[in-house]
Structure 1
Amino acid sequence: MTSRFGRLPLRSRLALLTAAAMAVAIAAAAVSCWLITRDQLMNEFNRSLRQAEVPNTLPRIVRTGCLDERPPGSPEDLNTDRTTAQIVLPDGRACLLQGEHTIPVTETDQAVAAQGGAQRTEIMHDVTSDGTEWRVRTIGGGLTLNDEPAAISFARPLSEVTDPLNTLALVLALVAGCGVLGAGAIGLGVARAGLRPVERLTHTVEHIARTEDLAVEIPVEGDDEIARLSRSFNAMTAALATSQERQQQLIADAGHELRTPLTSLRTNIELLARSEESGRELPPRQRRELLESVTAQMTELAALIGDLQELSRPDAAPDKAQLAVVALDEIAERAVRRVRLRAPEVRIDAELAPWFVRAEPAALERAVVNLLDNAVKFSPPGSRVEVGLGGDGLLRVRDHGPGIPEAELPHVFERFWRSPSARGRPGSGLGLSIVARTVQQAGGTVALRRAAGGGTEALLRLPGAPEPPPGSLSAIRGRGPHRPA
């Protein structure tokens, strides 16, 4: 049953649930109304039966000794409304005083009639006669017939209560049925109106899945849960569209950047191949230059592929398991040593103060190396690059090259962007974008600006970690606040 219900459309399920809830509520109200009405009718019925009392003319009536037919006297003498009244004797005989039919005498009635004396005794019970249920009230004590103790019984048919109750039950059942049908119709209408935004969302999702058109937006109305869902979906599709656009741009830029070294590499290799095939060897100097060019192009391709792999990682925060508290000064010192080996023609001076950060060590070192490589690339031979790390966690890398024009500074961290003046220099245009992403994931900031007196200054700031990592070189050495590298 549950599985069949689960297969129904959401609109039908909502309508059925609404109808079921209304049916339960209407049934509870109808039953409560019927029970309350029954109690009120029964109380009023019993009260009217208790109002019937032994009349003052009863001794005269009783003295006639009429037990076979109705005694003389008018019904008004009994003052019993529409109540049947009869005299009951201990042997079970009855004398009808008022009414159409004699009520069956029970053993209980006989017992009350047999009780003599002046003490009043009263009982109430139900009997059935010819298919009719009667409620009987028998009063004994102080009554005699021909010197024989007697009792008087007042009776009224229970149909005075059951007939209205049956009619009321039928009316309530009809009203409840109409209410359930109306509730089902209302539930269906409410489900249709409430699910209309969901249907629009479903159609939009199906359209996007079918056409891959992420530019479609869902109209947002109001500020309810459906509106919030629509806004979230629009934000998700916008993010997906942006990601798709960035992916396409990355592929296009990567293809463009790969084309130049591959073309140069292919040309050099073809020259070497033709030299071998024709049997005419190239001059040793030209052959050496070609091999050096091939090696340089291979190195550039390897660096570009490494940068692309780095950028292919998700932009979300790195896994916490990969984060560690590291000494930024130690990372900067290792980066300085690596760049010094690659660029011996440029002097790199470093003054580093201890500073601990929480980051991914390998990614952070790569970012610092990229900053230094960028500074060295634009420094003329014999110039100097200054590296400084203060006690506030600010890492400065300053070169004395031509500097970057103010108009180009907003673009330096974009992927594959290269200054027009640097087109002829080696590089892929990905180094600074990798720096920006790594620093952002570590919760820091990075910026480039024109340095006073010429050149460019890179500013990298990372928040400090609460304590140094156990066993780090900084903790073991106990260095002072500043140390030249």
Structure 2
Amino acid sequence: MTLRTRVGLAGGAVVLLALAVASLVIYPTVQGNLLRDIDDSLVQAVAQSPTTARQLKQKYVDSGGIAPIESPVKIGSTMVQILSPPVFAGPNSAFIDVTDQDVDVADGIEPAYFQDINYGGVGYRVYTAPMPGTRGVLVRVARPLDDQTAVVTALAALLIGLTLAGGLVAALGARLAARRVLRPVGVLTDAVEHVTVTQDLKARIDLTGRDEIGRLGRSFATMMTALDASVHAQRQLVADASHELRTPLTSLTTNLELLADGDGLRDPEAPVLVREAINQAHELRSLVNNLIDLARYGKDTARTEDTRLDLVAETVITKATTRASAPRFESALSPCLVHVDPDAIERAIGNLVDNAVKWSPPGGRVLITVAGGEFTITDEGPGIAMQDVPFVFDRFYRSAQARSMPGSGLGLAIVRQVVETHGGKVAAEPLGRGVRMRFSLPVVRD
């Protein structure tokens, strides 16, 4: 069963239930009102019974006959019976039997009352009361219930018909309306099925509504765009990593094959080959570690805390000064509090410092500053060509002059990944001599 059909059935069921409840209220209300109208007319007939009795008596006097006063007389649709005193309980051939309660009503002991009877195969509503202005005279007025029964039966049939027809029309209407209302769901479903079959993550969804379905469509489109970018980045990373891993693996394999041939380790060139193999293995290990760090720092870090950026920078500088080939470090570190993963930020600063050390000439100067959430490092190396500036933080990117030097091209990419994960920005600025690299992070305000 389709969603549109289920919505239609649900709408029809709701309307059917509402109409059924309304019918259950209307039916007894109308039935009670009709009965109340009959009762009111019977009470009015009793109030007029003295006049009716005099008119009947005069009518029979004028005709020279004896008035059958105790026989029921029809006046319109109302039957009137007057029982003169004394009233005794017992059978009554003219109308219904007289009961002890009727005797008490005539004597004023019991109040007037209503009852429903069947007389001659016809249902009647009977009102028994003492005649006004007299003592001991009993009046019975009755009206047939046929009219009320016909009206109530017709009303019941009408309500049942309206309820069923209303439910059916509502179901059909809801189903037709659901086609338009659920059109965005169909569009979204088609897009999902298209992606499932074709693996085309560039499929777009045109949903402009402001309701929940429109929001769902826009969220799905955003998710698709992010997923497409993620898959593209993953494929690019795999392709670049495969290329970068192939070179040291090929060199390492070649050196090991040379060692395996001929005299092996007794060959005079064996120590050189072993050193080259060890260097290639170290390069492979560094590349793998960088790939792992790149993947790890590409996710939202779960361990963040308020961290002094200046103290982290000071720790990295202290470690770097212990290297034999370290340049001359100068620093201006102002207290600065940021909310970050301290290990990740230390790795990012370490990569920038390593890059500066790598390109600094012997005896060169490296200036590091921290202020207002910004870390800046300036070296006196050969600098960066302007055409390379937009790409220095890309994965595996290496400028023409850097390709002859060791490295994987991932160090600065890790810096950008770490900084952007923490909501910051990175930048590189070529100088007349050297280059200035910086990143900025949101500062924790006191």
TM range (shorter): 0.7 to 0.9
CA deviation after TM superposition for structure 1 residue 27, in Å: 1.1
Aligned position for 2:378: 398
In the superposition, the TM-score normalised over structure 1's length comes to 0.80
Task: For residue 380 of structure 1, give the secondary structure of its aligned residue in structure 2.
Answer: coil
Task: For residue 123 of structure 2, give the secondary structure of its aligned residue in structure 1.
Answer: strand
1:269-289 C-alpha deviation (Å, 9 max, x unpaired): 333333534x8722xxx5444
State yes or no: 1:304 paired with 2:291: no
Tell whether the 8 Å contact from 2:320 to 2:326 is kept in structure 1 after alignment.
Answer: no
The 3 A distance-change label for structure 1 pair 60 and 214 is closer
Tell whether the 8 Å contact from 2:379 to 2:434 is kept in structure 1 after alignment.
Answer: yes
CA deviation after TM superposition for structure 1 residue 14, in Å: 2.2
State yes or no: 1:313 paired with 2:296: yes
Aligned position for 1:27: 20
> Percent identity at matched positions?
37
Q: 1:88 aligns with which of 63, 83, 91?
A: 83
Task: For residue 27 of structure 1, give the secondary structure of its aligned residue in structure 2.
Answer: helix
Partner amino acid, structure 2, of 1:456: V
Q: 1:162 aligns with which of 119, 125, 149?
A: 149
Aligned position for 2:103: 110
CA deviation after TM superposition for structure 1 residue 121, in Å: 7.0
Partner amino acid, structure 2, of 1:409: V
Q: 1:281 aligns with which of 267, 275, 278?
A: 267
| Counterpart-to-counterpart distance in 2, 1:149 and 1:431 | 120
CA deviation after TM superposition for structure 1 residue 165, in Å: 0.5
The 3 A distance-change label for structure 1 pair 51 and 162 is same
Which deviates more, 395-404 or 258-267?
A: 258-267
| Counterpart-to-counterpart distance in 1, 2:131 and 2:40 | 21
CA deviation after TM superposition for structure 1 residue 93, in Å: 6.8
Task: For residue 426 of structure 2, give the secondary structure of its aligned residue in structure 1.
Answer: strand
State yes or no: 1:461 paired with 2:440: yes
Aligned position for 1:362: 343
Stretches of structure 2 that go unaligned for 5 or more consecutive residues are: none
Tell whether the 8 Å contact from 1:61 to 1:72 is kept in structure 2 after alignment.
Answer: no
Aligned position for 2:366: 385
State yes or no: 1:346 paired with 2:327: yes
Partner amino acid, structure 1, of 2:310: D
CA deviation after TM superposition for structure 1 residue 24, in Å: 1.0
Which deviates more, 413-422 or 132-141?
A: 132-141
The 3 A distance-change label for structure 1 pair 393 and 314 is closer
The correspondence of residues 254-265 of structure 1 with structure 2, limited to 5 A, is: 254-265=241-252
Aligned position for 2:426: 446
The 3 A distance-change label for structure 1 pair 195 and 57 is closer
CA deviation after TM superposition for structure 1 residue 457, in Å: 0.8
Tell whether the 8 Å contact from 1:11 to 1:195 is kept in structure 2 after alignment.
Answer: yes
The correspondence of residues 1-400 of structure 1 with structure 2, limited to 5 A, is: 9-52=2-45, 53-56=48-51, 58-59=53-54, 71=67, 80-89=75-84, 90-92=87-89, 102-115=95-108, 122-140=112-130, 149-277=136-264, 281-282=267-268, 286-313=269-296, 315-319=298-302, 322-342=303-323, 344=325, 346-390=327-371, 392-400=372-380
Tell whether the 8 Å contact from 1:123 to 1:137 is kept in structure 2 after alignment.
Answer: yes
Instruction: Tell me the C-alpha RMSD between the 2 structures.
Output: 3.2
| Counterpart-to-counterpart distance in 1, 2:381 and 2:348 | 20
| Counterpart-to-counterpart distance in 2, 1:139 and 1:62 | 20
Partner amino acid, structure 1, of 2:129: I
Aligned position for 1:425: 405
In the superposition, the TM-score normalised over structure 2's length comes to 0.86
CA deviation after TM superposition for structure 1 residue 55, in Å: 4.2
1:181-212 C-alpha deviation (Å, 9 max, x unpaired): 22222233333443333233223323322332
| Counterpart-to-counterpart distance in 2, 1:317 and 1:310 | 13
Tell whether the 8 Å contact from 1:103 to 1:155 is kept in structure 2 after alignment.
Answer: no
Aligned position for 1:472: none
Task: For residue 396 of structure 1, give the secondary structure of its aligned residue in structure 2.
Answer: strand
Task: For residue 35 of structure 2, give the secondary structure of its aligned residue in structure 1.
Answer: helix
| Counterpart-to-counterpart distance in 1, 2:322 and 2:270 | 27
| Counterpart-to-counterpart distance in 2, 1:404 and 1:344 | 22
| Counterpart-to-counterpart distance in 1, 2:307 and 2:215 | 42
| Counterpart-to-counterpart distance in 1, 2:358 and 2:133 | 132
Stretches of structure 1 that go unaligned for 5 or more consecutive residues are: 1-7, 468-485
| Counterpart-to-counterpart distance in 2, 1:405 and 1:32 | 88
| Counterpart-to-counterpart distance in 2, 1:429 and 1:70 | 133
